């Protein structure tokens, strides 16, 4: 079985805590490559790591917050200007095409970016598995700002499973989402602060023995978490980290 290479382009929160970029994970398999989330800072992040953005096959979006999908207009603008020919698939909760088209009109009016590109918008819905060219996506509703249509995603590719919580408070849904996964990336924004919509570490720590995934890594830290790194039992992501799955 081939290994997947996951590059952490960004694993920060919406506020750039610790100078970390917004969420963006690049996964390279033998048959293709794709992004999980594409936060506002993703295009410079991808270029910083020498990733050819015009070769990316697909982008999976967990929810409609700028630190998770705000980089897409910039990535598409770059592709339109520099003549991308290859199709790109954007897989999101319902309404992705309209939201991204509106964002493009606001940020770069009159550039007709989508007309110059071969973009295929696909919508997933919770409880169903969506088949994409090189992989499948199963989406799970999670607990975060409702209007952003928050989901966690479980992606199967080349015999491996990568699960990602998206942004969420604790929910038992994280168990089936991450069941037996080769890698589970779990949002853990806060250490002890309790806020609906985000995880706090002290709560997550109690649940750790119940997980059946092979590896769990934490992401999306605010300053409170960054100040307590030595206290964390599981590993955690850092920008630029490379993980073989
Ligand atoms: Zn976020």
Q: How many whole angstroms from 63 Cα to the centroid of ligand 1?
A: 9
Q: How many whole angstroms from 15 Cα to the centroid of ligand 1?
A: 9
Q: Is the pLDDT of residue 132 over 90?
A: no
Across 69-86, average pLDDT: 94
Q: What is the pTM of this model?
A: 0.97
Distances (CA, A) of 103 to 83, 87, 111: 20, 20, 12
Residue 168, token pair as written in the block = 């969420």
Of 67, 75, 79, 62, the residue nearest 40 (C-alpha):
67
Phi then psi for residue 148, to 5 deg, are -85, 0
Reported as a single tens digit per residue, the pLDDT across 190-209 is 999 999 999 999 999 999 99
210 by DSSP, 3-state: which? helix
| Strand 58-60 versus strand 33-36 pairing type | parallel
Q: Is the pLDDT of residue 1 over 70?
A: no
Of 108, 67, 115, 74, the residue nearest 220 (C-alpha):
67
Of 30, 201, 31, 33, the residue nearest 9 (C-alpha):
33
CB-proximal residues (5 Å) to ion ligand 1: 67, 167
Cα distance from N-terminal residue to C-terminal residue, the chain:
11
Q: Domain count for the chain, please give it.
A: 1
Structural domain harbouring 229: 5-244
Domain containing residue 60: CATH number? 3.60.15.10
Q: How many whole angstroms from 220 Cα to the centroid of ligand 1?
A: 7
Reported as a single tens digit per residue, the pLDDT across 10-39 is 999 999 999 999 999 999 999 899 999 999
pLDDT, residue 2, reads: 77
Helix (H) and strand (E) counts in the chain: 7, 14
Q: How many whole angstroms from 10 Cα to the centroid of ligand 1?
A: 11
pLDDT, residue 85, reads: 87
The arrangement of strands across the sheet holding 160-164 comes to 129-131, 136-141, 151-157, 160-164, 183-187, 216-219, 235-236
Of 132, 6, 147, the residue nearest 59 (C-alpha):
132
Q: How many whole angstroms from 158 Cα to the centroid of ligand 1?
A: 28
């Amino acid at each position: 079985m081939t290994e997947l290479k996951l590059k952490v382009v960004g694993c920060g929160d919406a506020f750039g805590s610790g100078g970390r970029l917004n969420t963006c994970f690049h996964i390279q398999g033998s048959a293709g490559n794709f992004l999980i989330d594409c936060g506002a800072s993703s295009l410079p992040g991808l270029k910083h790591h020498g990733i050819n953005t015009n070769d990316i096959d697909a982008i999976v979006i967990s929810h409609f917050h700028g630190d998770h999908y705000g980089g897409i207009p910039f990535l598409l603008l770059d592709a339109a200007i520099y003549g991308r020919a290859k199709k790109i698939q954007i897989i999101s909760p319902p309404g992705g095409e309209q939201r991204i088209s509106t964002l493009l009109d606001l940020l770069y009016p009159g550039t007709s970016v989508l007309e110059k590109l071969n973009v295929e918008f696909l919508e997933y819905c919770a409880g169903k598995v969506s088949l994409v060219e090189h992989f499948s996506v199963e989406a799970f509703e999670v607990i975060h700002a409702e209007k952003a249509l928050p989901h966690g995603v479980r992606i199967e590719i080349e015999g491996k499973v990568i699960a990602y919580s998206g942004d969420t408070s604790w929910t038992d849904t994280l168990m089936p989402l991450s069941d037996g996964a080769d890698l589970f990336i779990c949002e853990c924004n806060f250490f002890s602060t309790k806020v609906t919509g985000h995880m706090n570490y002290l709560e997550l720590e109690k649940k750790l023995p119940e997980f059946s995934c092979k590896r769990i890594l934490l992401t999306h830290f605010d300053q409170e978490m960054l100040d307590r790194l030595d206290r964390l039992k599981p590993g955690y992501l850092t920008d630029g980290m490379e993980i073989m799955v």
